[in-house]
Amino acid sequence: MDYLVKPIEETELKEAIRRIGKTKSNNDVSIALQNIGAKTVEEQKLILPTQTGTLRFALKQITHVEGERNYSNICLVNSSRELSSKNLSYFEDILIDKGFFRSHRSYLVNRYHIEALRGDHFILKNGLEIPISRRKKSEAESWFDLSEK
């Protein structure tokens, strides 16, 4: 990345834009722009840096996110898991307005994959049960009722 000092000179701005275009994160910028233009949340993608590279997948591929201390397991439709060094609060902040709900201190669930609400669990379409904490029960019921409409 680059930075510019005020007042901004036109030539410096053009040079900074040219350098950004050459970086490998250029694809990340284009995905971010696609997210802005996406008509539905399901079309949006999540980009995560990892030790081995960068993960990119559509939000609708994520069934839920499980928190483990300072790490998170992103659970996908194909039953695979991707470990992230970001904590669950990080994912809550960026996904809460995209159809995800923090049902428990260790779980963030995707509305797109919820089949039913039974007692103190969300039942996912793949059969998994995601717990709902006692404190979040009424909030989860309201959220789920709204999401069905």
Please indicate whether residue 42 or residue 121 has the higher confidence score (pLDDT): 121
Nearest 10 degrees: Cα torsion 15, 28, 86, 126: 170
Summarize pLDDT for 97-139 with one digit per residue, the tens: 888 999 999 999 999 999 999 999 999 999 999 999 999 999 9
Residue 14 has pLDDT above 60, yes or no: yes
Distance CA 108, CA 121 (A): 12
All domains of the chain in start order, with CATH = 59-148 (2.40.50.1020)
Distance CA 80, CA 132 (A): 23
Give the whole-number percent of the chain exceeding pLDDT 90.
Answer: 47
**pLDDT, position 20:** 67
Residue 51 has pLDDT above 90, yes or no: no
pTM (2 decimals)? 0.73
**pLDDT, position 141:** 92
Distance CA 116, CA 41 (A): 21
**pLDDT, position 11:** 87
